[in-house]
Homo-oligomer: A and B are copies of this chain.
Amino acid sequence: MPAAVDVKTPTIRDVAQRAKVSLKTVSRVINNEPSVRANTREHVLRVIDALGYLPDLSARSLRSASSYALGVVYDNPNAYYVIAVQNGVLSACREQGFGLQIHPCNAASPQLADELRDLVRRSRLAGLVLAPPMSERMELVRFLAGNKIPFVRILSAAEDPADGYPCVFVDDRDAAYEITEHLIQLGHQRIGFLWGGAEHRSSPERFKGYEAALRDYGIALDKKLVIAGDYSFDDGFRGARRLFALRERPTAIFGSNDEIAAGVLAAAKASGIDVPYELSIAGFEDSPFSKQSWPALTTAKQNTEEIARRAALRLIAELRPAGDVIAANYARNQGFSPQLVIRDSTARVRLAVEG
């Protein structure tokens, strides 16, 4: 019986010895640096392969100033959104050889800025991807910039804020306009609007879209139809109840996201109101359950995963020296527009209701 042999994981030193070259040459091969003869390079690569050598990330990031990991910062109860952001960022990270550190946090914490700075230092992160609402707090943004911490923001805006800080932006206003327009074109005149969380910039943006569409179609804004709340099922439910109690009930309700819309749907069912024939409901986000509710929700599809991916690439571009391929391709802030997805929860207004 052979003695148990503890196979140590090979280091660059083992590779160098076996390949009969210096440490530095192996390093050069790993990092794809020029000035290595093709012969030598191939030989070293073969040895690396044979030994199953993998560069040690700790050592790498300790020695070289630049590191190989990003952080993604979020404070969002919506699991689908968070997973989509993670997966998008992760896809870019894997492609570009970066690691990923997730950092759920409390947006309301007064120490958040210090917390993020410490996170970056301790873990030697190359930069941060900020999801809303952190991305929208300018004092945080300025703090990070002041501390020379690279970052990119995912934010809600109709156009590039052009404030000198990198971002990708999502035109919630435009998409909300389209949703409202869709409802109007179905003949709805009394359209309720349920706000999302006030700390997210997307909320006022979506409201602006709603407002603009009403204006463009000559419908007066009725403040009784507009209800404050949070991006939650429960607020959707409660808000819908309040709208149902109005003397003149709306024939359509636009919930600021799918969770709110799901709450409206539940409230409608609880009140015996038929959707869509007595009430049209629209959401926003295209979460999986917008497809899975009954009836399936009309909504605006924002490809969060792709948006997050682009955000990460935008950040990586900032980290790269000018002239790099990524740096060249992703040097500019990019905008996205969610697309209207018409499903079964919206329908032509029933004439009977009008009277």
Cβ of A9 < 8 Å from any Cβ of B? yes
A221 lies within 8 A of chain B by Cβ: no
List the B side residues contacting A144 at CB < 8 Å: none
* Contact A270-B292, Cβ < 8 Å, known A56-B122, A124-B57: no
Given A292-B263, A292-B266, A294-B269, A57 and B123 contact (CB-CB distance below 8 Å): yes
Verify B99–A101 contact, CB threshold 8 A: yes
Kindly provide the distance from the CB of A296 to the nearest chain B CB, expressed in whole angstroms.
Answer: 8
Which residue of chain B has the shortest Cβ distance to A233 in the bound complex?
B292
Minimum CB–CB distance from A48 to chain B (whole Å) comes to: 13
Within 8 A of B (CB), among A257-277: 259, 262-263, 265-266, 269-270
Asked if A56 and B124 sit within 8 Å, CB to CB, the answer is: yes
Determine how many copies of this chain the complex contains: 2
A354 CB → nearest B CB, Å: 27
| Residues 277 to 295 of chain A near chain B (Cβ within 8 Å) | 288-289, 291-294
Cα-based distance from A292 to B265 in the complex (angstroms): 9
**Would you call B294 and A122 a contact (CB within 8 A)?**
no
How close is A290's CB to chain B, nearest CB, in angstroms?
11
Give every chain B residue within 8 A of A56 (Cβ-Cβ).
62, 121-122, 124
A55 touches B102 (CB 8 A): no
Contact A101 B101 (CB under 8 A): yes
Q: Per-residue 0/1 for A75-109: is the Cβ within 8 Å of any B Cβ (1 yes, 0 no)?
A: 00001101100110010000000011110100000
The answer to the question of A159 belonging to the interface, with a C-beta cut-off of 8 Å to chain B, is no
Is A58 in contact with chain B by the CB < 8 A criterion?
yes
Q: Hey, which chain B residues are within 8 Å of A79, CB to CB?
A: 79-80, 82-83, 288
Q: How many residues of A contact B (CB 8 A)?
A: 43
B289 to A265, Cβ gap below 8 A? no
The answer, yes or no, to whether A118 is at the interface (CB within 8 Å) is yes
Taken together as a complex, chains A and B put the C-alpha atoms of A314 and B123 apart, in Å, by 24
Closest CB in chain B relative to A297 CB, distance in Å:
12
Q: Given contacts A90-B104, A270-B294, A294-B269, is CB(A121)–CB(B83) below 8 Å?
A: no
> Would A104 and B87 count as touching, CB distance under 8 A?
yes
B83 engages A99 (CB within 8 Å): no
Q: Which residues of B contact A59 (CB under 8 A)?
A: 58, 62
Q: Is A122's CB under 8 angstroms from B57's CB?
A: yes
CA distance A176 to B8 in the complex (A): 46
A25 is an interface residue with CB less than 8 A from chain B: no
Assess the B90–A55 pair: CB atoms within 8 A: no
- Which of B82, B259, B293 contacts A293 (CB under 8 A)? B293
Q: Can you add 20 more A-B contacts, CB < 8 Å, to A58-B67, A86-B102, A233-B288?
A: A9-B121, A57-B122, A58-B123, A59-B62, A62-B62, A79-B79, A79-B80, A79-B82, A79-B83, A82-B83, A90-B102, A100-B101, A100-B102, A101-B101, A259-B292, A266-B292, A266-B293, A269-B294, A270-B294, A293-B293
3 tightest CB-CB pairs across the interface, nearest first?
Answer: A79-B79, A79-B83, A269-B294
11 A-B contact pairs sorted by A residue (CB < 8 Å): A6-B148, A56-B62, A56-B122, A59-B62, A83-B83, A86-B104, A90-B102, A262-B289, A263-B292, A265-B294, A289-B292
